[in-house]
Amino acid sequence: MSFTRFSYWLRGDRPELGPDQRERLALETARNRIFITGAMFIIGFCWITYGLVDASVLRQGNEPAVASGTDTRELKTERADIVDRNGILLATDLPTNSLYADARVVKDPVESADQLLTVLPDLDRDTLIRHLSSRKAFVWLRRNLTPEQQYEVNSLGVPGLNFQREERRVYPHGRLFSHALGFTDIDNNGIAGAERKFDNELRINNGPLELSLDTRVQYALEEEVESAMETYSAVGAAGLVMDVYTGEVVAMTSLPNFDPHRPGQAPADARFNRSTLGVYEMGSVFKLFNTAIALETGTATLNSVYDATEPLRIARFSIRDYHAENRWLTVPEILVHSSNIGSARMAMAFGGDNQQKYLKKLGMLDKPQIELPEVGGPLVPNPWREINTMTISFGHGLAVTPLQVVSGISTIVNGGIRRPATILKQDGAPAGERVFSQQTSEQLRRLMRLVVTEGSGKKAEVAGYFLGGKTGTSEKLVNGRYVKNARMSTFVAAFPMQDPKYVVLVTLDEPKGTKETYGFATAGWVSAPAVGKVVTRIAPLLGIEPANAKAPEIEQALQIELRKGERKLASF
């Protein structure tokens, strides 16, 4: 019953009414229903239209003005670039194509090999045939083809030969940075130098690696060191330029060098980094450290005198002077005449413990800290006897790397603060550790200047830049014995001495005298002029203004008394 009523209600029919009324009612219901349905459709359409307009015409508040694709791909090389301090590219990855074979597809290995040899004649025929008949899906035939080679191989049309896109490490400056940058193997793994030290960082590739090296300075240094090495027929040479306030290595060279694209073809000697891995007795250069320790500990003043009248005999050794003065010498005179006897006496005054303490602080007794894997530890005497104290005072019996010497001299001239050496570009001076007082540093600056104006470093003088330095010539140790005519000639200098900014070191390995040097191969004759030439070239590049020698502030900064009473202007 109720179902029948429900069905009537559903149709909007009312059976109790008359036929006319029922008909009118039915029409009305139908119209209402159509109206409601239509209204719903209109609402729906309006909604969709609004959505459409909103999505395509109206601007949402958070919508960017320019559309940005989420899938924007940046060119990412396998390894990051390495750039110098001015952003010049030193190492980068370039795309190349390598040739491989799918040996399963190769039809006639012998014929294919012969065809391939017409294009790549330096491949080995037997190996090639063996590879092509190996039935392997992947065999390398030749890595890193040139575009022409690739084109020629491709036009041979040999089935089974394919190309694999690869990246190859390229050093646009070739040999110039070979020791600092190092090199990579064929699979782009860093295996020497900065490439190895920063292998992980370079792989992650968060922008280029900025080194502290400066291409222009590096070239000037390398060229001058190379020309000195050729002139004096040296077997090797090393050169370093360091910023004394930040410890940044601005240039570093070791000769002979090698082509980083073909490191395997270079002899082991060329791959040996003489500036950081080679340890050498530095000779008289150590007298600067010795004097600094004496002045710092207060066992000597600039006016102290030491007996250098005759060779110093101890046990079975005898310490003598190369340029013997045979008289009592003041501290400045000991440096100017490079007196071994005087230095040894100075060292005896402050003793072996103080010597070890300060040399340790200067970093001479530990492996130098620098971001390179090729780092040589010093050869330290053990036990440290009295005789060692005496010989180390003039640089014999303790072998260190040239890098340590440059770091040590930076510490002396920059006001006495030691900062770790680095090849990474620094943002200001890093925290350092005080080794010498400001006063000692100032006195040493004057003494170093005096060596160039009065002493063995005269040939390094460059008008206007006020070099100060020290020569050091030592006989080379070969199998534990000194060889008389095989020397290491080192000159280390800082400039400008009234306010030192940079330290330059040049070491020549086994230089031979020439006619121009009257047969001498000591540091004052062979290394000092090279340092002078380097400074002439790099000072303008590094923004150092030449100054007038008579300027009162320079006179004041550099004046020193050679002997009490004998006033001497070191600035002349």
CA angle, residues 371, 377, 380, in degrees to nearest 5:
150
Is position 51 an interface residue for another protein (rule: CB under 8 A)? no
* CB 553 to another protein: min, Å: 13
Binders of another protein in range 242-301 (CB under 8 A): none
Binding-residue pattern over the window 84 to 103 for another protein, x denoting contact by CB under 8 A: ----xxx-x-xx--------
- Taking the chain, what is the end-to-end CA distance rounded to the nearest angstrom? 132
Is 284 part of the annotated catalytic residue set? Answer: yes
Q: How far is CA 80 from the centre of its chain?
A: 15
* CB 42 to another protein: min, Å: 9
Distance of alpha carbon 418 from alpha carbon 420, whole angstroms: 7
- Reading the block at residue 301, the tokens are 């003043």
Q: Indicate which single residue of 216, 385, 563, 568 sits in contact with another protein (rule: CB under 8 A).
A: 216
Q: Indicate which single residue of 30, 40, 43, 48 sits in contact with another protein (rule: CB under 8 A).
A: 48
Distance of alpha carbon 93 from alpha carbon 216, whole angstroms: 23
Please, are residues 381 and 398 in contact by the beta-carbon 8 Å criterion?
yes
Give start and end residues of each alpha helix (H) in 298-437. 331-336, 340-361, 386-393, 402-413
* CB 379 to another protein: min, Å: 36
Binders of another protein in range 521-550 (CB under 8 A): 536-537, 540, 545-550
**What residue type is assigned to position 52 of the chain?**
L
Whichever of 159 and 540 has its CB closer to another protein, that residue is: 540
Cis peptide before 378 (omega within 30 of 0): no
Residue 483 belongs to what H/E stretch?
strand 481-495
Whichever of 73 and 481 has its CB closer to another protein, that residue is: 73
- Reading the block at residue 274, the tokens are 């003489």
Of the ranges 43-51, 126-134, 395-403, 484-492, which one interacts with another protein (CB under 8 A)?
Answer: 43-51
Q: Indicate which single residue of 58, 268, 463, 478 sits in contact with another protein (rule: CB under 8 A).
A: 463
CA angle, residues 126, 127, 128, in degrees to nearest 5:
90
Distance of alpha carbon 534 from alpha carbon 505, whole angstroms: 10
Catalytic position from the list 98, 254, 284, 339: 284
Please, are residues 140 and 383 in contact by the beta-carbon 8 Å criterion?
no
Whichever of 9 and 35 has its CB closer to another protein, that residue is: 35
Of the ranges 219-227, 243-251, 361-369, 433-441, which one interacts with another protein (CB under 8 A)?
Answer: 219-227
* CB 95 to another protein: min, Å: 7
Is position 75 an interface residue for another protein (rule: CB under 8 A)? yes
Is position 208 an interface residue for another protein (rule: CB under 8 A)? no
* Cα–Cα nearest to 158, from 99, 220, 215: 99
Cis peptide before 496 (omega within 30 of 0): yes
* Cα–Cα nearest to 118, from 163, 153, 154: 153
* CB 86 to another protein: min, Å: 11
Of the ranges 72-80, 139-147, 361-369, 398-406, which one interacts with another protein (CB under 8 A)?
Answer: 72-80
Is position 462 an interface residue for another protein (rule: CB under 8 A)? yes
Whichever of 122 and 545 has its CB closer to another protein, that residue is: 545
Is position 43 an interface residue for another protein (rule: CB under 8 A)? no
Whichever of 172 and 430 has its CB closer to another protein, that residue is: 172
Whichever of 92 and 389 has its CB closer to another protein, that residue is: 92
Whichever of 177 and 306 has its CB closer to another protein, that residue is: 177
* Cα–Cα nearest to 250, from 220, 208, 289: 220
* CB 548 to another protein: min, Å: 6
Distance of alpha carbon 55 from alpha carbon 345, whole angstroms: 91
Please, are residues 284 and 470 in contact by the beta-carbon 8 Å criterion?
yes
CA angle, residues 146, 183, 407, in degrees to nearest 5:
150
CA dihedral 25, 29, 34, 38 (to 10 degrees): 130
Of the ranges 69-77, 234-242, 427-435, 558-566, which one interacts with another protein (CB under 8 A)?
Answer: 69-77
**What residue type is assigned to position 303 of the chain?**
N
215 HSE (CA, 13 A, CB side): 16
Whichever of 105 and 551 has its CB closer to another protein, that residue is: 551
Of the ranges 278-286, 338-346, 463-471, 505-513, which one interacts with another protein (CB under 8 A)?
Answer: 463-471
Q: Indicate which single residue of 170, 235, 305, 486 sits in contact with another protein (rule: CB under 8 A).
A: 170
Binding-site size, another protein (CB under 8 A) = 43
Whichever of 92 and 440 has its CB closer to another protein, that residue is: 92
What per-residue string of b and e applies to 256-271 under the rule 16 or more CB within 10 Å gives b?
bbbebbebeebeeebb
The radius of gyration of the chain's CA atoms, rounded to the nearest angstrom, is 39
**What residue type is assigned to position 433 of the chain?**
E
* CB 205 to another protein: min, Å: 13
Binders of another protein in range 171-190 (CB under 8 A): 172-174, 176
User: Position of tokens 């899938």?
Assistant: 71
Binding-residue pattern over the window 483 to 522 for another protein, x denoting contact by CB under 8 A: ----------------------------------------
Distance of alpha carbon 564 from alpha carbon 302, whole angstroms: 9
Task: Provide the annotated active-site residues.
Answer: 284
**Residue numbers at the binding site for another protein (CB under 8 A):** 38, 45, 48-49, 52, 56, 69, 71-75, 77, 88-90, 92, 94-95, 170, 172-174, 176, 215-216, 219-220, 223, 462-465, 536-537, 540, 545-550, 572
